[in-house]
Structure 1
Amino acid sequence: MKRNLLFLERVLFGDGTEPFHGVYALKIDGAIDHAGLIQALARLQEKYAMLRTAIGIDLLGRPYFHSPPVPPVIPLRIVERTDEDDWNRETVHELGASFGVSNGPLFRITWIRSTEVSDLIMAFHHCMCDGGSGVALLSDLLALLDDPQAEIGKAPAFESIRDLVPGEILDNSRNRFKAKLSAALVNLGLSLGSLFISTQRKPAPRSGDYLVNWKLGTEQSKALFTHCKKEGVTVNTAIGLALMEAFKAVNGAGAHGKATCPVDIRRYMPEVKRDMLFSYGLALNISLQQSIGSGFWAKAKSLQTHVSKQMAKLNPYEFTMIMEASHSAVHKLRRFLTYAKVGNDFMFSNMGKLDIPPQYRNFAVDTIYSPTVIGPFANPNTIITTTFNGQMDFSFVSNQKFMPRDTAMQIREKAMEILFETVAIPDSVRL
């Protein structure tokens, strides 16, 4: 396998030295066999060609994925389990530990081991895959741990933009002209913007990264889903609004009242299959200015109107064509994301229900913690939620220098207070 990185893959890759990783963590009740885990990782590499790749740099300075003559083995690090918080510490460690991108692979596992309970930490470079791809990897890994002979198939892979954008769209002269014009405008905007950017504003040091995790009980989660459906508001919109209001309540004038929400590109681009390792998605922006009304749910409905309009306009093919015409601006965009003044409060993603069973023949999955991701850019605030076994789980990562952990804890408490203020749940399980 050999292909150049797409534009957004290059943005996530940078120069390969700075960590920009996605990390999944889960708790397993039951014994894990060492040899079985190694065999499962080898089977994963057989299915996913991207797990056998490294990244080289061509003579023009452009990075490309390639398969080394001797496939790299997936690293397995074993840590003895001492307490229930080991997974949190090891997740933060994995977020900040760089991959050897020139040798590969861009994927590794940490096994936090004990006799009866284990935690697995799965880390991957974001330029290789996103959270949705991570679910596919995790699902296959669990299936193989349970049954080494499990049939997991062969993962599709793409070789160029032509595998992602239909020919009738990609070769249309009007579409190509529009993409080049848009790319030129992007380049011009970044060039002008860079005149006002000072590299003196350094990103927060990675040694200060932290993870705040919390979970809603089954009844709380069910109550929230039911109430959102009754109000005609998505769970994503409701939580996004509660978080923006919480940032405003805690940070006051220091809050921006804005957030960015990634959207799974698979919903709009059927060429990206469920188990195709793919690194980027679409995005929409939300703000408190879009939430007008008296009371939280009236504001949520107003915000939902704006969200729905943005969702309807998302065009993955046009977006991809514009990005692929913008390669000359990749370093300018990274400079902007790294050094420009922060304009929003956080990135928020609700990945929804994880299609992974809680019970296997030889073990049970007690918990899947929501994945985490943190990069080298100016704003590290990232909040991701997932639902597993009927319970919503939240991961909030940031950096101590950018936002003290105590502030993140206050935002968490305030957001949940705002969200559940009028949601009917039994008193015995209230937050």
Structure 2
Amino acid sequence: MLNPLPPALTIVPPNRPLVGRVCPPGSKSITNRALLLAALANGTSRLTGALKSKDTTLMAAALRQMGVTVEEPGATSFTVTSTGRLRAPAGPLFLGNAGTATRFLAAAVATVDGEVIVDGDDEMRVRPIGPLVTALQSLGIDATSPTGCPPVTIRGKGSFGSGRVEIDGGLSSQYVSALLMAAPLGDGPITVALTGSDIGARGYVDLTLAAMRSFGATVQQLDAGTWLVQPTGYQAADLLVEPDASAATYLWGAQALTGGKIDLGVAADAFTQPDALAQAVIAQFPNMPAVIDGSQMQDAVPTLAVVAAFNNTPVRFVGIANLRVKETDRIRAVANELNRILPGLATEEGDDLLVASDTNLASRSQPARIVTYHDHRIAMSFALAGLKLSGITILDPACTGKTYPEYWDMLAGLGVELQPKA
């Protein structure tokens, strides 16, 4: 409906409940895990219900550079054929600002016999990867990252080593998942252990373990922060990817803000992704809790914060320090843009975010041009504000292609008017 997307879009409040059926795209988290594991598996794997977006396209392209055959027989399917081993690419792997793919591949390419450079765009080059590089080095892997951020250079010897590797997962659970997924290609058993009790979004590690087992890995959880991985390698498998829970949060938010009813075709409790926890919180609108711990549903926090702006009472978001090292500093970005709508609506207090809430917001706000910071989640969450407020314009709406290319078409399909702006 909107192709190509204009430089900006103004959302016209529908002034009615949004009602309809929307099928969210496939999970980005599961699709990227499945693509990598299929590439590390011997044989042909078929992935259905998968996400086709900028992030997964970059992952697939990187795998093709390393000798893996990745075909796309349908709009939501991949067929991946591999010998179970990655080959050294002719040039650097460019992964844009795809943090998941960058971190997963930084570990996986250690199994290559040869040099691999994992790199990204300017935004990716300021996102930390140092703890993962240090962990790789402890396994005897030649890995360097002079800035503690990409680019990362790995000089592999065809194996992931063996023994024990410790990792601080407090900054990102992706470090832990990266090590776990590469571990079955070790010379012997590998123990992956957390150095502390904190881990960003532990539920994503559970996603990783489930995906690994689908492709034949043997993993034993020794305690809350220690896993023993056997050197089984992987075998090809067929996998159905569930819908994306992070994408579903926008639909749950739209339903709550308009008093509508949107059928996603899947119940909230059927999701295995951590962000599905947001549904129970959104369902309490306009009486959301005074304090929301976002540590285990990090990508849902921008959605929750925008919805909270219309809550009956203020909401404090805690446990969200990791949001400062996402595609942008999401704590600051959300605060900035809420205050652009109405000064004083949001406050940063350390790494907490306090949303003041205003039940009369719709009548008090001024038109606002929302800066998205090249961040898909800022664009999609603040579009929800436009369902209640007149004059909300989203700059760079195309950035939603990172994970939800059909986002604007979805809103239009629900009857929301979108006005192109220069």
Q: TM-score, structure 2 length as denominator?
A: 0.25
The structure carrying a bigger helix percent of its residues is 1
Greater relative CO (CA pairs within 8 A, separation 6+): 1
Q: TM-score, structure 1 length as denominator?
A: 0.24
